[in-house]
């Protein structure tokens, strides 16, 4: 790069330079650094972005693309914690489809297996009416039993083969709980092993702009390309800029893609809980969720005697819950699962003045389980892991579209969802899978991967599906926030019906599991 | 991992599901009682007992056991639960549910109550008992409510009925009882209290008119605006001043019924005497 001081000191050099042809002369005169051209630049090192890059590196068509990853956090220090008695409070539930994707991307093998927990059943019940739905694939209680029974009648038929495609090999697993940092660490290990990805961590994106107008026809025209400027004057020109940078995505802002939605005025309180008894590795685990008028509370199993809590409450209640001492918080969680709503409302209102454990020990023997629909297998929470109580605001946002010219959005940058169905991360991973396959298709067919012909396939695959899932979760949240009246009766009836109609329940589970 | 046996999908689809709350059992296999004295009833038994009690208590109002069974069989599914919830929402109500105090002739000693300060709740209660000539008998035990805590709520309601009489000053004659029942309906929403109002047909014309003009409006108005009377911890309020308690609960004292009746009787006697005197004088 030219620097004026050197030139000024050497007139001989200047004469030499003036004799050069114009195209080469220009290179010495321009002080602007030329942007480095990359095929894919991914802004954001979360699970969605990392899994996209892993998928690109794992596919033969795309493994030679020049890719870069930019993240403002330090990714090298990410490691899965070694103490199996302590678990992070940020855990995600991975559906079988997400697991399949991570296995194909080569990342699932690097996950710390001792810190991952499959669960084989789900119990979901309505706090107000006690009506419940249970998913129990191991006992064959759900799934399209009638269709499978018919298919078994004709061995060797194509119909029977088509029923087989729903077998994932991991029989009976509803989903898998995995800590976010465990997954991120595995993905980073995969990228390091595969190589070929320039990981720019601890790097904040200074700005994103379109490239400058070309000086003449023969010069490289980057005017339609997004140029990412990093600290130190380094510039990356992206053939495809992928925004995986979270809910307040700068890439989405650069692309002028509006995002619509609303806040729920709720916070999701998370914590790591210790249960009253330990489970062995091969034991059947169940996830529990109770719909309360203030928001659903979910207990998701972790290895041994641990569990992860996700409890959606109104914002002032979240603040009060976090301020409780850990024994009181544990008692509140038990109360939220076991007491009648009128009782629980009293507890929530007066939690800072009453002795929660004492009050609970009086109320529990006087609350009949039949009146609350309590599942018998629900474990009691004994303690809360110190320092694991936290909360995050809940909102729903959906970007109007996921792509622009040379822009693609995946993960939270594209959509934010209520955690009641555990779908947030799974939608992001499905986005990454779809985008990777669109890019692979584009490369195989000689397309410019940043052009709409390549990216439209991704949007048309994912936008409607994400919208449907978000819509359903939003309506469920609104449906279950009603406390009395005909809505409660109607939803209990509906839930009971879905519980009894095997094929319908199988469809619901299939949709939730994202089986492709 | 359990073996995956697939029962015939068709039979599972057609199998009738058990309803969540209503217990279906036969009289030949009654489930065990949930508390001493509990008698679980089938739906048919409950309905027929309710109908029979309603007719019986209308025909013979002194049959307090029929009134009790009418109350218990009509209180579920919603109304008693609502009352229970009202107690759970209130700190005093919760203390009552926790302590489960019982009002019996042993726990409420009349001699002690009579010694209480002038115009206190305890003194008013004792005075009312003396005036009406009744004792704090042990009320019928609740038998037909399944949940033990709700059974206690029903029992508490029954035992504190006399206190409601005491602080409103209404007597035990039919008219007074109906006024208290109307007040209790507006306050507790128990269906038995509303069903008892059918006994208006047993009142004389004058009484009925007076009831509909004065006491019924008083009862509805005060029952609705008053605090839940079930949440009053009477054992602790015995020394409280009656006016203070009434003000705290938001209840106005109705016109004294016995005085009105006495005044009316006096008036009629005087009129009769005048008529006879004038008749005798004329004749």
Q: Which residue, A91, A81, A89, A67, is CA-closest to A112?
A: A81
Asked if B20 and A496 come within 8 Å (Cβ–Cβ), the reply is yes
Calculate the alpha carbon distances from B67 to A407, B60, B62, B200 in Å: 77, 10, 9, 15
Out of A138, A146, A340, the one facing B9 most closely (by C-beta) is A146
The chain B residue lying nearest A360, using CA atoms, is B98
Q: How far is CA A152 from the centre of its chain?
A: 37
Q: How many residues does chain A have?
A: 516
For the entire predicted model, the pTM comes to 0.84
Q: Which residues of A touch B88 (CB under 8 A)?
A: 340, 342-343, 346
* Mutation for testing the B interface, residue in A133, A136, A144, A146 having most B CBs under 10 Å: A146
Q: Which residues of B touch A127 (CB under 8 A)?
A: none
Q: What is the ipTM of this complex?
A: 0.82
CB pairs under 8 A between A and B: 57
Out of A130, A340, A502, the one facing B12 most closely (by C-beta) is A502
Four-way CATH pick for A5-84+196-261+397-475: 3.40.50.970, 3.30.460.30, 3.50.50.60, 3.90.1720.10: 3.50.50.60
Q: How many CB atoms lie within 10 A of CB A120?
A: 22
State how far the Cα of A223 lies from the Cα of A217, in Å rounded to an integer.
12
CB proximity list for A392: less than 8 A, separation 6 or greater: A267, A268, A270
Residue pair A437/A328 in contact (Cβ under 8 Å)? The answer is no
Surface-to-core class of residue A223, CB atoms within 10 Å of its CB (0-12 exposed, 13-18 middle, 19+ buried):
exposed
The chain B residue lying nearest A501, using CA atoms, is B13
In the predicted model, residues of chain A with pLDDT beneath 50 are: 1-3, 31, 141, 516
CB proximity list for B209: less than 8 A, separation 6 or greater: none
Instruction: Check if B77 contacts A (Cβ < 8 Å).
Output: no
Rounded to the nearest 5 percent, the helix, strand and coil shares of chain B are 65, 0, 35
Q: Which residues on adjacent β-strands are paired with residue A300?
A: A308
Structure tokens of A19? 């004799």
State how far the Cα of A248 lies from the Cα of B139, in Å rounded to an integer.
67
Q: Does domain A263-393 have CATH number 3.30.9.10?
A: yes
Instruction: Check if A493 contacts B (Cβ < 8 Å).
Output: no
Q: Which pLDDT value is given to residue A291?
A: 93
Out of A130, A138, A342, the one facing B89 most closely (by C-beta) is A342
Q: Which pLDDT value is given to residue A144?
A: 52
Surface-to-core class of residue A352, CB atoms within 10 Å of its CB (0-12 exposed, 13-18 middle, 19+ buried):
exposed
Instruction: Check if B10 contacts A (Cβ < 8 Å).
Output: yes
Task: Locate the domains of chain B by residue range.
Answer: 9-255
Task: Locate the domains of chain A by residue range.
Answer: 5-84+196-261+397-475, 263-393
Q: Which pLDDT value is given to residue B158?
A: 92
Asked if A346 and B148 come within 8 Å (Cβ–Cβ), the reply is no
Q: Which residues of A touch B17 (CB under 8 A)?
A: 496, 500
Q: Which pLDDT value is given to residue A269?
A: 96
* Mutation for testing the A interface, residue in B94, B99, B145, B150 having most A CBs under 10 Å: B94
Residue by residue, pLDDT tens for chain B (283 residues) are: 333 344 454 544 444 444 444 456 778 888 899 999 999 998 899 999 999 999 999 898 888 899 999 999 999 888 999 999 999 999 999 999 999 999 887 888 888 888 888 889 999 899 888 888 887 777 889 999 999 999 999 999 998 998 999 999 898 888 999 999 999 999 999 999 999 999 899 889 999 999 999 999 999 999 999 999 999 999 999 999 999 999 999 999 999 988 999 999 999 999 999 999 887 765 5
Q: Which residues on adjacent β-strands are paired with residue A393?
A: A267
């Amino acid at each position: 790069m030219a620097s004026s001081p050197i030139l000024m000191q050497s007139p001989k050099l200047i004469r030499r330079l003036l004799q050069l042809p114009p195209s080469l002369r220009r290179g010495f005169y321009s002080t602007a650094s030329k942007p480095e051209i990359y095929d894919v630049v991914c802004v954001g090192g979360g699970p969605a972005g990392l899994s996209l890059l892993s998928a690109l590196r794992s596919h033969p068509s795309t493994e030679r693309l020049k890719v870069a990853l930019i993240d403002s956090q330090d990714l090298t220090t990410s490691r899965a914690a070694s103490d199996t008695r302590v678990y992070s409070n940020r855990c995600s539930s991975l559906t079988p489809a997400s697991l399949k994707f991570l296995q194909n991307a080569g990342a699932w093998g690097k996950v710390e297996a001792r810190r991952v927990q499959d669960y084989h059943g789900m119990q979901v019940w309505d706090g107000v009416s006690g009506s419940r739905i249970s998913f129990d694939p191991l006992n064959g209680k759900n799934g399209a039993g009638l269709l499978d029974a018919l298919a078994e009648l004709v061995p060797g038929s194509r119909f029977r083969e088509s029923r087989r495609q729903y077998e994932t090999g991991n029989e009976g697993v509803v989903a898998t709980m995995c800590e976010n940092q465990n997954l991120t660490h595995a993905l980073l290990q995969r990228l390091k092993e595969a190589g070929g990805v320039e990981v720019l961590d601890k790097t904040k994106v200074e700005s994103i702009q379109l490239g400058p107008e070309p000086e003449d026809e023969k010069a490289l025209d980057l005017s339609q390309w997004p140029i990412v400027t990093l600290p130190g004057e380094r510039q990356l020109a992206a053939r495809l800029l992928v925004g995986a940078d979270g809910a307040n995505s700068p890439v989405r802002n650069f692309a002028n893609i509006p995002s619509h939605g609303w806040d729920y005025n709720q916070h999701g309180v998370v914590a790591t809980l210790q249960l009253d008894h330990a489970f062995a590795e091969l034991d059947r685990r169940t996830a529990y969720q109770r719909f309360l008028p203030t928001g659903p509370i979910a207990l998701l199993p972790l290895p041994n005697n641990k569990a992860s809590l996700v409890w959606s409450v109104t914002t002032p209640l979240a603040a009060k819950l976090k301020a409780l001492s850990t024994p009181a918080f544990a008692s509140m969680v038990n109360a939220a699962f076991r007491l009648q709503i009128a009782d629980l409302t009293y507890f929530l209102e007066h939690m800072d003045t009453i002795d929660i454990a004492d009050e609970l020990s009086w109320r529990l023997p006087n609350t009949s389980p039949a009146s609350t629909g309590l599942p018998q297998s629900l474990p009691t929470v004994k303690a809360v892991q110190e320092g694991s109580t936290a909360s995050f605001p809940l909102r729903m946002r959906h970007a109007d579209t996921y792509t622009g010219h040379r822009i693609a959005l995946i993960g939270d940058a594209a959509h934010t969802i209520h955690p009641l169905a555990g779908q947030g991360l799974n939608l992001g991973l499905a986005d990454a899978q779809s985008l990777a396959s669109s890019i692979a298709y584009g490369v195989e067919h000689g397309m410019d991967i940043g052009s709409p012909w390549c990216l439209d396939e991704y949007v048309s695959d994912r936008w409607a599906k994400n919208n449907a899932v978000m819509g359903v979760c939003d309506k469920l949240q609104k449906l279950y926030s009603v406390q009395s009246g005909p809505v409660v009766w109607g939803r209990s009836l509906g839930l009971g019906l879905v519980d009894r109609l095997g094929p319908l329940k199988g469809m619901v589970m299939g949709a939730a599991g994202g089986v492709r | 991992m359990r073996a995956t046996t697939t029962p015939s999908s068709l039979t599972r689809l057609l199998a009738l599901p058990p309803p969540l709350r209503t217990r279906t059992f036969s009289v030949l296999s009654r489930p065990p009682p949930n508390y001493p004295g509990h008698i679980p009833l089938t739906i048919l038994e409950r309905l027929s007992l309710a109908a029979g009690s309603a007719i019986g208590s209308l025909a013979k109002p002194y049959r307090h056991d029929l009134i009790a069974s009418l109350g218990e069989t009509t209180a579920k599914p919603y109304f008693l639960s609502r009352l229970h919830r009202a107690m759970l929402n209130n700190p005093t109500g919760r203390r009552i549910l926790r302590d489960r105090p019982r009002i019996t002739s042993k726990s409420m000693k009349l001699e002690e109550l009579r010694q209480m300060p002038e115009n206190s709740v305890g003194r008013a209660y004792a005075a009312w008992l003396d005036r009406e000539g009744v004792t704090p008998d042990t009320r019928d035990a609740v038998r037909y409510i399944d949940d033990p805590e709700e059974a206690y709520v029903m029992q508490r309601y029954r035992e504190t009925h006399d206190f409601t009489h005491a602080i409103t000053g209404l007597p035990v004659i039919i008219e007074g009882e109906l006024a208290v029942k109307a007040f209790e309906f507006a306050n507790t929403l128990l269906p038995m209290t509303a069903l008892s109002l059918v006994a208006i047909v047993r009142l004389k014309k004058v009484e009925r008119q007076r009831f509909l003009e004065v006491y019924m409006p008083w009862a509805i108005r005060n029952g609705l605006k008053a605090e839940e009377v079930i949440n009053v911890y009477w054992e602790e309020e015995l020394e409280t001043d009656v006016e203070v308690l009434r003000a705290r609960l938001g209840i106005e004292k109705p016109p004294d019924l016995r005085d009105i009746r006495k005044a009316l009787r006096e008036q009629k006697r005087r009129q009769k005497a005048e008529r006879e005197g004038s008749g005798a004088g004329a004749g």
